[in-house]
Amino acid sequence: MSLLVTGSIGIDNVITPHGQVEEVLGGSSVYFSFAATQYTPVRFVGVVGEDFPPAFRDLLVSPEIDLSGLEVRKGSKTFRWSGKYVGDMAQAETVDIELNVLAEAAPKVPAAFTDSDVVFLANTHPTLQREMLAQVAAPKLTVCDTIDLWINNERASLIETLKAVNGVIINDAEARMLTGSSNLVTAGKGILELGPNFTVIKKGEHGALLVTTDGVTVVPAYPTENVKDPTGAGDSFAGGMLGYLAAGGRFDTASLRRALVRGTVSASFAIEDFSLRRVMNVTREEIDVRVAELLDMLRIE
């Protein structure tokens, strides 16, 4: 099945206890795409400003990523994010953020993309997420992500987006913030009451939680010791999960549980280096090895 992603494309500055990078390619839809293409081609829709470096576009060029929906908007500036991680790097601290094109009109979905089967609305303004979704004719699966910025400042718009999608992928702090519940199982069920059929709550080094009307599934994180930069881990998680689902064409609870494992493994690679360095170079063989290892860890007699 065809997979469309739309979300932020950014220029990042990141500081962690292991170093820092400046003016690197980032953005939710970018991390998502590289993870998803391990399973299926991606239709990429997004907007950048005229300050977007041509070298960054070159990094996105791939037979598996259709860039027909990438708009370079004259007179506008690209989304920028600066953040840092301290201690156990469990949470990013936003040092500076410039919405720029993300505060403007949504990009257009190319006519050839409007028949997409699976749509992932990666992190961006919730109003833009709905505008993008409205341009796709009859998707079979729609999933969104969000962050604390929209929960705090655009809550009403975010609730409308949640009503329009089949699933949501969110981290633990955001799930608690959105629902007011400290218990993540209760928070997951509370999000279902807002509209989605399933909720995935990312818990960083503690794995992920899937909540559906059929019950709850918990998957631990893949145990990696080489953690340098958590930026993009959640988006890579979503890419691995949705890429696997689109490739298989099944969205029942059993498929969601299998996809949860793939997302977890994709995230384990993203954190092993700064920016996209590891995500861009990981092989399918490496992914399959970790999937097998994680499944073996989950097998308890």
pLDDT, averaged across the chain: 94
C-alpha to C-alpha distance for 168 and 162, rounded to whole angstroms:
7
Tens of pLDDT, residues 256-300: 999 999 999 999 999 999 999 999 999 999 999 999 999 999 988
Query: Is the per-residue pLDDT at 184 higher than 80?
Result: yes
Segment 12-30, tens digit of pLDDT: 999 999 999 999 999 999 9
* Structure confidence at residue 87 as a pLDDT band (50, 70, 90): confident
Distance CA 196, CA 167 (A): 5
Q: Given this model, what pLDDT does residue 112 score?
A: 96
Percent of the chain with pLDDT over 70: 100
Q: Which pLDDT belongs to residue 209?
A: 96
The conformation of residue 80, written as its DSSP 8-state character, comes to E
Q: What pLDDT digit, counting tens, does each position of 24-61 carry?
A: 999 999 999 999 999 999 999 999 999 999 999 999 99
Total domains in the chain come to 1
Domain with 118, as residue range(s), is 3-298
Cα(282)–Cα(266) distance, rounded to whole angstroms? 9
Is residue 301 pLDDT above 80, yes or no? no
Q: How confident is the model at residue 126 (pLDDT cuts 50, 70, 90)?
A: very high
Task: Please compute the mean of the pLDDT values over residues 53-70 and round it to a whole number.
Answer: 95
Band of pLDDT at residue 201, cut at 50, 70 and 90: very high
At 90, the pLDDT band (50, 70, 90 cuts) reads confident
pLDDT of the residue at 196: 97
Indicate which CATH number applies to the domain containing 219.
3.40.1190.20
Beta-carbon contacts of residue 178 (< 8 Å; ≥ 6 apart):
146, 151, 158, 170, 187, 190, 191
Instruction: Judge whether 22 and 138 are in contact, CB under 8 Å.
Output: no
Q: State the pLDDT at residue 125.
A: 86
List CB contacts of 103: < 8 A, sequence separation 6 or more: 125
What average pLDDT score do residues 227-249 get? 95
Residue 122 has pLDDT above 80, yes or no: yes
Per residue in 220-231, pLDDT (tens digit) is 999 998 899 999
Mean pLDDT of 131-135: 93
